[in-house]
Structure 1
C-alpha cells in the first residue's frame, strides 16, 4: 500500500455542455490522436507486437511477433474511416502473420485480442484471408480446453497444442464464447462454440451457494484456490460475457446464468460509503466483507449495468469511478475507498471508465456523459501523450510515465473515446456486441 492520503471524492459537476458541433470536433481530435499513436508504432515498431513510446523501440510478447498492435487496431481504423491506414494494416496482417510457431501463448489474451480482432476485421472488411487466419488460430488454440474439467489451460503451444498452467480464473475461462462462438457461426464448425460454452458453464457451476465465484481455481481439479469474490481483475469479464453472449447469440442459458450472478454481485459486493456506491471484495462462500478496493478494471461495471438495463445503479457507480479519476486527473489501478488511499498507483492506459461513459451516453442520451468524456480525454492526452505515441503512467500522483503502450489503447481506449463523440450509427448496438477488447462482433444470421 502506498499510503497516499486523498481528499474525499467530490461528486462530478457538469458545468458545461458538449453539443453536436463540439462532439464532432472531439471525434476528429480523437482520430488525430489515434493516428499519432499508430504513427509512432509504424515508425518505431512496425511488424512487432507493440511500441515502447519513450525509448522509441519495439517489443514482442514472445520470441516471435504476433502483430498484436496491428490486429488490435485494425477495426478501430475501419470505424474511424481511416481507409488507407486500415488497408496497410490489413495487408501486413494478411501477408505476414503466421500462427505456425513453436510458442506457448496466453490463451485468454490471444483469444480476446487476436481471434477477436481478426473476426471483427473480417466482418467489417469481408477480407476472406482474415477469416482463414482466424480459423487457423482457433484450431491451434482448441487443445487448451483438453482438461478433465473443460476449463482451459492458461497457456497453449500454437504448434504442438500442448497446454500448461493450471491456476486460472473465471475471467480467463469465461471470456471466450463471443470469439469462439462467432468463429463457429462463420465457419459452420460447432466445436468452437461447444468448447468455449462448456468452459463458461463449468465456471458458473462452481459458484457458491450465494451465487458468487472466487478469484482463482485449478483447471485440472476444478477446486477454488482463492475464494475472494469481486468484480475486478480475474473475474470482471466473466460477468460481462454472461450478458453479452445472451445478446449476441440469444443463448438463453447465458441469460439464466447472468440473472442470479449479477444479483449476487450487486447484493454482496456493493457497499455504500458516505452516500457513494462502491464495489469491493467479499468471501464467495460467506459473503463476509474482506476488502474495500475499487479500481480501473472495476470501472467497466457501470457500462455493463447500463447495457443490461440497470441504469440507476450504473449512474451511481459511474459517479464513483469519475470521482476516483478526478482525485489526481488520471485514475489509479486500485483505490481503497474507505481509507481514501491509493493502493496501486499505476495507469496502463486502461479503457474501462471510457467504455462505461460511452454505454451510459448511448443508453440514456444524458449530455453529462459527453462532458465527462471530454474531461477524461483531455486528461488522457495531457498526461499520457509522448513524442512517439502514448505512454502508461507509472504513478498517477506524480504522473511519471512508463515505457509501455499496450495494444488495447488502440483497440479500446481510443475506440471508446471516438464512439462517445461520433454519430451513434457508427455502432448499432442492436446488431453488434463488442467483446472485452472492444472488437465489434456482428450477429451471424443462419443461412436458410
Structure 2
C-alpha cells in the first residue's frame, strides 16, 4: 500500500525534470500516476481515500478521508499542477475536491471556530485537526486568487485564524500536533498530541495569506510564533522539538530532534513573510510541498 500523498506528490518535480532534461518519459510517468489515482477513486465526489494498492491501483476499503497526514500534498499538487502547466483537468479536480472538503470535512464549533476534520470510515466527522492540515488555508487562498473563488478566501481566513489560535492558546505560544474541537466552542489538546515538532504548515499559510490579502495581522501572528520558537526551541547548536507545548519548564521538555523541514520550510516561510512581495512573487513561482520554488511556465 502507498499513501495518497506518497503516490500523488511527485508530479511537479517529475515534470520539472522532464522540462530541464528534455526527456518526455518523466512527464508521462507523472501523468500516469495521476490518472490511476483519479480512475481508482470510488467516490468521484472530490474526496480520495488515504491508501492505494501499488499492485492493483485500487484504493483500500477501510480508509478515512482527510487533508492531513497521508493525503495533504496530493490535494496541494492538483492546484499547483494547473498553475504550473495550465492543464484544465487539474483545475476541475481541484475545484471538485475543495467543494467536497468544504461540505464534508469542514466543521465549526458553537464559538464559530472553523476546522478541517477527518471523515472516519463509518461516515462520522472526527472533530480533530492536525498541524499538518494547517497548510490547507494557504492552499485555499492561493486557489481563491488564481481561480477567482472569493468564498474560498473567506474560509481560508477562518481556518488560518484557527491554526493561530492553536498556537496562541498554549503556554509556550507553539502549536501541538493535534487539537480537538469541543462542541460548546473550545479547543482541547490531548497530552499524547502535545508535541511541537518545528512544523511549517501554519507559518506557510500565514505567508500565503499575507501575500494575497496584504493584512499585516498575518505578519504579527508570524512574529509571535517566531519569538516563541526563539524563546523555547532554540538551543546551543540549533533548535529542538518540544515534548509538551503546555509546559514552559524546559529542563525536561526538549527533544534532541530538528527535522529538515524546519530549515527548508519553517524558517524559509518566516523569512518570506517579512520579505518584499517582489521576492519569489506568487504569480511567478510555485512552491513545492517542500518549499522549493519553481518558476511558472508562461
| TM-score w.r.t. length of structure 2 | 0.89
1:332 and 1:227 map into 2 onto residues whose CA distance is 25
| Residue 291 (structure 1) aligned with residue 140 (structure 2) | no
Across the two proteins, how many residue pairs are aligned to each other? 277
Where does residue 166 of structure 2 map in the other structure?
A: 324
2:220 and 2:239 map into 1 onto residues whose CA distance is 23
1:347 and 1:204 map into 2 onto residues whose CA distance is 34
Where does residue 45 of structure 1 map in the other structure?
A: none
| Residue 352 (structure 1) aligned with residue 187 (structure 2) | no
Counterpart selection for 1:336 from 156, 180, 186: 180
Structure 1 residues 303 and 176, CA gap change in structure 2 (3 angstroms): same
| Residue 429 (structure 1) aligned with residue 288 (structure 2) | no
| Residue 271 (structure 1) aligned with residue 107 (structure 2) | yes
Alpha-carbon shift at residue 200 of structure 1 (Å): 2.0
SS in 2 for 1:294: strand
Is the 1:347–1:392 Cα contact (8 Å) retained in structure 2? yes
SS in 2 for 1:278: strand
Please tell me the root mean square deviation across aligned C-alpha atoms, in Å.
Answer: 1.6
Where does residue 239 of structure 1 map in the other structure?
A: 75
Alpha-carbon shift at residue 426 of structure 1 (Å): 0.8
| Residue 255 (structure 1) aligned with residue 91 (structure 2) | yes
Aligned ranges for residues 189-208 of structure 1 at < 5 Å? Answer: 189-207=23-41, 208=43
2:262 and 2:140 map into 1 onto residues whose CA distance is 23
Is the 2:105–2:125 Cα contact (8 Å) retained in structure 1? no
Where does residue 56 of structure 2 map in the other structure?
A: 221
**Bigger shift: 324-333 or 299-308?**
324-333
Alpha-carbon shift at residue 434 of structure 1 (Å): 0.4
Where does residue 313 of structure 1 map in the other structure?
A: 155
Where does residue 417 of structure 1 map in the other structure?
A: 270
Query: Which segments of 5 or more consecutive residues in structure 2 lack a partner in the other structure?
Result: 145-151
Is the 1:185–1:444 Cα contact (8 Å) retained in structure 2? no
Alpha-carbon shift at residue 209 of structure 1 (Å): 4.1
Alpha-carbon shift at residue 283 of structure 1 (Å): 4.2
1:201 and 1:356 map into 2 onto residues whose CA distance is 28
Superposed CA deviations along residues 123-173 of structure 1, whole A, max 9, x for unmatched, are xxxxxxxxxxxxxxxxxxxxxxxxxxxxxxxxxxxxxxxxxxxx2111111
Where does residue 84 of structure 1 map in the other structure?
A: none
1:190 and 1:283 map into 2 onto residues whose CA distance is 40
Is the 2:240–2:258 Cα contact (8 Å) retained in structure 1? yes
Is the 1:281–1:292 Cα contact (8 Å) retained in structure 2? yes
Moved over 4 A (4+): none
Where does residue 8 of structure 2 map in the other structure?
A: 174
SS in 2 for 1:202: helix
Query: Which segments of 5 or more consecutive residues in structure 1 lack a partner in the other structure?
Result: 1-166
Structure possessing the higher radius of gyration over alpha carbons = 1
Where does residue 147 of structure 2 map in the other structure?
A: none
| TM-score w.r.t. length of structure 1 | 0.60
Where does residue 401 of structure 1 map in the other structure?
A: 254
